[in-house]
Structure formats: C-alpha cells, structure tokens
Amino acid sequence: MLCLKEKRVVVFAEGCFGPVTSKVATSYLRYRHDDCVAVVDSRLAGQDVGAVLGYGHGIPLVDSLESALRFEPQILLIGVGLFSNELPESWRGQIAVALRRGIDVVSGLHFRIATDPEFAALAAASGSRIWDTKEPPATLSTNAARLDELHGFVVHTVGSDCRVGKKTSAIEITEAARRKGFNAGFVATGQSGIYISGRGVAVDAVPADFIAGVTESMVLESAAHHDWIVVEGQGSISHPAYSGVTLGLLHGAMPQALVLCHEADLSHHKGWPNAPLRALPELIAVYEQLASFQRPARVVAVSVHCGHMNREDAASVVERIGNETGLPTTDVIHFGADTLVDALAAHRRGLLGERTDASLRVDAPARNH
C-alpha cells in the first residue's frame, strides 16, 4: 500500500472528469486537494478544477500526463472507474509515460496494472511502484459473527443507489463525531475511501464468500482503537448490479445504527432507467430487516446529497425528506453532519440503557438467593 499523503499527485480522469462521471477523482479531491498538482482530461484542458467541482480551486486541468510533468508529480492516480476489467487502449500510453519516468501508479480498476507484462517491465526498469487497490487481502476468511460481543458502536452508511454520498456521509459523520468528543474511526471499503484515509479494503474486489468476513475483520481492527466505528457503504440493496456487495457489508459490519443516504430528486438507479428506486420508507424497512438477522439495527437518520442546489433549495429538500421518513435529515455538505451525529449519539445512549437494564434483570435473581 502506497502512502498518498503529502505526495504530488496527478489525477487521471481522461474524457470524464466531473462531479458525477469521475467519482474516485472528485471524492479524492474533496478531501485531499492540497496534494493534487493537476488533473488530466483533454476535454477540459486549460480550465480550473474549482470551476468544475466547486472545490479544488487552483488545480489546473491539463490535456495529458506529459503536460503535467512540469509539476514534478510523484504519483499518477487513476481517478475513474470502468464497467469491465478491460483497460482502454488509449490509456496505456499515459500509464507507460508515468512508469518510464519513475512515477508511481495507483489504480482502482479491475484491470491489474501490476500484472501487465509491459507495465511490469517498465516499473522494474524505473523503480516505479504500482498499487492495484482492487486486490483482496492475502488472508481471507468467512464471517464468524463475532461483533455481537463488541462494546464499540458500529454505524454503517447505506444507500438508495450508487454515488449518493455514502462515503462522504461516513467521513463527515466521523469528523463531526470527533469534534463532539467521540472517539470515532472511519472504515474505508472502496478505493476512494482508502486514498483519503490511507487504509481499508476495496470490498468489491473480494470474492463474494469473504466480503462479510473481510468487513468483520476491518470493524474489529478499528474497534481496537475507536469507540465509534463508522463503516462506509457500497452500492444499494435494491441495485440491479451491486446489491451483493451491499448485503455482504451489511452482514459483516453487524451495525447497530444505519444512516440512509439518498440523492435529491433521484427516481431511478443511475444507468438503469428500467429500475425505479423504492420509496424511502420501504427501503428503510428492507435495510432494517436485512441488517437485523444477527442483532437489531435501525435506520436512525437520513443524509441527502443535494448536489449543486443552493442552500435554500437544499433546505427545502431536506425538510421534505425528513417529513417523508420521520427521521433527522440533513445534507452534510451544505449543513454539516451534526444532525446525524446527534441522532446517532441518542440511539447509542438508548442502546447503553437497554444493556444496563438487561444486566440488572439478569443479576436480580442472583441477589435474591
């Protein structure tokens, strides 16, 4: 695993840089823009990242990696995902340039750059390192349902669809909880979260049998250092393609609290016009039922991604969805995550009260003998 922090990074997003079309790039730039020296997308060359995203001001968009070499980059980060494990032929030249120049390459593609003979030879000659983040851990095991014994508080962000703010909500919840004095840790389950936090596993590259087990191991590892364990969600339980990963995470994390993430005005799964979204109350019920096979779990709040809406319009959407679900609701980018943390803390207090009451009921007969 390469450390990206305080390195000069060029983000590769050729042909698709934007708030919706390059999820990895935009997520990384939201939290690590200080380390980025340029973004590659020939369509937008000459523009500023801030003008496209609303953050990351001062980072130039360039037409190629060659044009970014003047910034002396140390890492080329592939900032887009693909719907197959094939590498576009037009990308090979840019990756080869990086490896010839001794620039490390970080990729979350299902295509393994390190195993490609040409790329491996170039890296060996120059000393470049290749980190394919979609590589499962060396040791894999199935879920053993050990988390019921855990004293930590497990929070899991789940979604109505892909790219609706599950990672961002988890990070913002973690940071807001820390500001309020809680010892919270973020568990990254996708490549963007790994790049931002510096650790984690991209669970969509883990064999299906072991997704829950890997998730369980990450929660246990985080619980050794934190009281709140905030697990990043993936996909959606109703998604035509990615529901399997969602369910594996849900059962592996064994959360006590869920935060449902949703995008304003979204009616269908993105890219699947024949797959309408479930109504949010129905989706909440499904998540709670599926999450509670091992121990009870509740959706305690809703995080709404309002995109480029102004604050007034976003506030209106937040209010409407709060009324629809009957749950504390916010947009973490417009309004922060305090509303979510307060709801989670209240739920946690209730759980601790229930545990204390149960202990007293168990102990009472013993005191009577």
Q: What is the pLDDT of residue 2?
A: 67
Half-sphere CA count of 180, side-chain side, radius 13 A: 19
Question: Which strands sit side by side in the sheet containing 36-40, from one edge to the other?
Answer: 61-62, 36-40, 9-12, 75-78, 104-107, 130-132
Q: What is the pLDDT of residue 360?
A: 44
**48 DSSP assignment:** B
Q: What is the pLDDT of residue 319?
A: 98
Q: Delineate the domains of the chain, giving CATH numbers in brackets.
A: 9-132 (3.40.50.720), 147-357 (3.40.50.300)
Sign of CA dihedral 236, 237, 241, 246: positive
Q: What is the pLDDT of residue 135?
A: 83
Could you tell me the pTM of the whole model?
0.89
User: What distance in Å separates the CA atoms of residue 135 and residue 259, rounded to the nearest whole number?
Assistant: 28
Q: Give the closest residue to 198 by CA, choosing from 3, 28, 27, 336.
A: 3
Summarised one tens digit per residue, pLDDT across range 64-110 is 999 999 999 999 999 987 767 788 898 999 999 999 999 999 998 88
Q: Give the closest residue to 243 by CA, choosing from 274, 211, 195.
A: 211
Q: What is the pLDDT of residue 356?
A: 53
User: What distance in Å separates the CA atoms of residue 254 and residue 149, rounded to the nearest whole number?
Assistant: 11
- Which residues fall within 8 angstroms of residue 196, CB to CB, at 6 or more apart? 27, 28, 31, 32, 171, 188
Residue 151 has which token pair? 């004293």
CA–chain centroid gap for 59, Å, is: 23
User: What distance in Å separates the CA atoms of residue 193 and residue 222, rounded to the nearest whole number?
Assistant: 15
Kindly give the parts of the chain with pLDDT less than 50: 358-369
The distance in angstroms from the start CA to the end CA of the chain is 58
